[in-house]
Amino acid sequence: MGEASCPKATIVVPVYNSARSIQRCVDSLLAQSERSIQVVCVNDGSTDDSLNVLRQIAQADDRVLVIDQENAGVSCARNAGIDVAEGETVFFVDADDYIDAQTVEVPRPPSLAASVNLPTLPPNASSNS
C-alpha cells in the first residue's frame, strides 16, 4: 500500500504455529465493514504450515502483508508489525482470535455525520409566542 492509499487501520497479527486457526482469524479481519485496512501477519519462526497458509492468504488479497522472522517472541513480532504499519490506527489481534465485522470501524469526521435541521428563533423571540 502506497502513500496515496494510506489505510485507515493496520491490524497486526503475531503468528506462531497457528496453521489451524490463522485462516479463520484473517478471514474475520478482511470481512471488516471498514474496508480501508492493512493486515500485517508476522510469522514468528513457526515450524508448522503457518507461513504457507499466510502466503496463500496474502496472494489472494493485497491488503495482507506477511513478514517472516526467526522466533523472537510475541512482543518482537508485534514490534515488527508496527514498524511496517501504514494505518492511521493500529490494532493487535492474536492468531487464534476472530473478531466481529464492526470491530475496526474508524470514526468519521463530524462533517460526514448525519445532518439535522433544528428550528431557530429570531433574536429576542420567545418559544412561547
Quick: pLDDT tens for 52-82: 999 999 999 999 999 999 999 999 999 999 9
Least confident segment among 14-23, 34-43, 96-105: 96-105
Mean pLDDT calculated for residue range 8-12: 96
C-alpha distances in angstroms, 88 versus 18, 81, 82, 85, 116? 27, 14, 11, 9, 29
Mark residue 7 as left, alpha or beta (left: phi above 0; alpha: psi -120 to 50; beta: remaining). beta
Match 433544528 to its residue by C-alpha cell: 118
Q: Is 58 exposed, middle or buried (0-12, 13-18, 19+ CB in 10 A)?
A: middle
The pLDDT, as a whole number, for residue 105 is 85
- The cell numbers describing 52, all together, are 504457507
**Confidence category of residue 113, pLDDT binned at 50, 70, 90:** low
| CATH fold for the domain made of 3-99 | Spore Coat Polysaccharide Biosynthesis Protein SpsA; Chain A (3.90.550)
Domain ranges across the chain: 3-99
